[in-house]
Amino acid sequence: MPVREIPMYIDGQPVMSQSQDWRDVVNPATQEVVARVPFCTAEEVERAIASAKTAFKEWRKMPLGKRMRIMLKLQALIRENTAELAALITEEHGKTLPDAEGEVGRGLEVVEHACSITSLQLGELAENAANEVDVYTMHQPLGVGAGITAFNFPIMLPCFMFPLAIATGNTFVLKPSEQDPSSTMRLVELAHEAGVPAGVLNVVHGGPDVANQIADHQDIKALSFIGSTHVGSLLYNRAAAAGKRMQSMMGAKNHCVVMPDANRSQAIDSLLGSAFGAAGQRCMANSVVVLVGEAREWLKDIEEGARSMKVGPGTQRDADLGPLVSPQAKERVERLITAGEKEGAKLMVDGRGCTVDGYPNGNFVGPTLFADVTAEMTIYREEIFGPVLCVVSVETLDEAIAFINANPNGNGTSIFTNSGWVARRFETDIEVGQIGINVPIPVPVAYFSFTGSRASKLGDLGPNGKQAITFWTQTKTVTARWFEPENVSSGINSTISLG
């Protein structure tokens, strides 16, 4: 079976790159090469940006109702093609099919939110702000926007970017991850089937050179990035130097606090799923559990739960977690597990050396559990991005809050408790942008904004919700005063009345 070659998407058409630099896209469960993706040339990136710039002239004038109907068609097409999109995610990323289907559903929520653009992009009016003076605002598109996405959510992350960007009247250039681009490309094809005009949504591929070219380019007015802290920080500085606005959602170290009054089975099931689902390759994964007081006695149950989780290929629906995305990712995770062991953490469940029958070459790491973890250890300080759960034990809620607030990251945190007072105290005092109360992964629904904070985020505005509308538009304020014509015999008044 021939290996498919991934095209660019420019001017409403798939276009094959002329680059001499192509990379293999590999199934992480088998190491089979399933596709090849180009690292586009600088000229090809320029062509995509120029296409978006030209299309903006007409797209910005497209009536809101027509943009809304395109979004409505797109959400219908995504629903119809969920199984295909999920299968492409699983083939190239490795996450289980149920997990991949869930990802498509989260992306779909953003498109559904964009279907409300006719009300989301409304301005404000103050009639008679002064004597016969009206003041009103308009939210107008910026121009060409761009998005650069990580490998871990090849459908959801692009949906966090381009649907609201183009719904507000911008055009767009997307650079998906080179590790799993096929599902993203199918999503872009569906957008054009839905009626997105040529040039409004373009795709280029590549690595740091392409990302830097996008960040530096004067014709791109806003850039959205979701990925690692190192890359996000570099791109943010380049984008700022180029005078563009940017949102950069980056790394994390998320904590789950378990209080002794919590529902025991529900809390343990939830934290295991949030730590090990998608093989831990989620920026919102709860990679640290903080057991408070008598909840420390639940450690044995957590260990048993971790040991019972099933590792398998993503196509195996009863698997709890699939392979890591690459051999390099597996090597890094196993190296960090070794470091945790050497630094004195208690290794209760070891996921190294994990094998799956029939898949000898898969990038599998099993659920791994450490106890007695401290803030100085490498496994706590670094984002492992793998199926590794660190357990920290404290005496009180105050200690738990102080421990979490001392961490520089602020993407998300959760607490499991049956006390409303404890939950309210936690949400008030914790210095983290997204909070779950008896919810393990506190990513809000798409009509609320993604609000990670501190070292997990650069830029004031996050994806989705009201913040995304503000990010992708420029507010223009008009102060207007009209005078009655002096020459009423000119026929102006009668013309107005006839109109």
Measured between alpha carbons, how far is 388 from 5 in angstroms, rounded to an integer? Answer: 35
The helix (H) or strand (E) run that includes residue 254 is: strand 254-258
Q: What is the pLDDT of residue 82?
A: 98
Which of 340, 431, 466, 430 has the alpha carbon at shortest distance from 391? 340
Would you name the residues annotated as active-site residues?
A: 283
CA atoms within 13 A of residue 462's CA, in its CB half-sphere: 21
Q: Report residue 183 as tokens.
A: 């599902």
Residues of the chain with pLDDT under 70: 1, 488-499
Measured between alpha carbons, how far is 253 from 413 in angstroms, rounded to an integer? Answer: 9
Residues forming a β-bridge with 479: 135
Measured between alpha carbons, how far is 106 from 160 in angstroms, rounded to an integer? Answer: 9
- Helical segments of 81-181, H only: 82-93, 97-114, 117-120, 156-159, 162-167
Measured between alpha carbons, how far is 162 from 164 in angstroms, rounded to an integer? Answer: 6
Measured between alpha carbons, how far is 288 from 396 in angstroms, rounded to an integer? Answer: 16
Measured between alpha carbons, how far is 81 from 193 in angstroms, rounded to an integer? Answer: 12
Q: Give whole-number Cα distances, 13 to 5, 8, 202, 216, in Å.
A: 15, 8, 9, 25
Q: What is the pLDDT of residue 400?
A: 98
Q: 151 with 325: CB under 8 angstroms? A: yes
Q: 155 with 171: CB under 8 angstroms? A: no
Q: What is the pLDDT of residue 486?
A: 84
Beta-carbon contacts of residue 321 (< 8 Å; ≥ 6 apart) = 96, 276, 277, 278, 279, 280, 309, 310, 311, 367, 387
Tens digits of residue pLDDT in 302-347: 999 999 999 999 999 999 999 999 999 999 999 999 999 999 999 9
Q: Report residue 459 as tokens.
A: 């830029």
Which of 248, 271, 234 has the alpha carbon at shortest distance from 453? 248
Chain centroid to CA 409: 16
Q: What is the pLDDT of residue 487?
A: 74
Phi, psi at 220, each rounded to 5°: -95, 120
Measured between alpha carbons, how far is 129 from 135 in angstroms, rounded to an integer? Answer: 6
Strand intervals (E) in 27-179: 33-38, 125-130, 133-141, 144-149, 171-175
CB contact burial 131-157 (16+ within 10 A = b; e otherwise): eeeeeeeebbbbbbbbbbbbbbbbbbb
- Read off the DSSP letter of residue 297: G
Domains, the chain, in order of start with CATH, read: 4-250 (3.40.605.10), 254-437 (3.40.309.10)
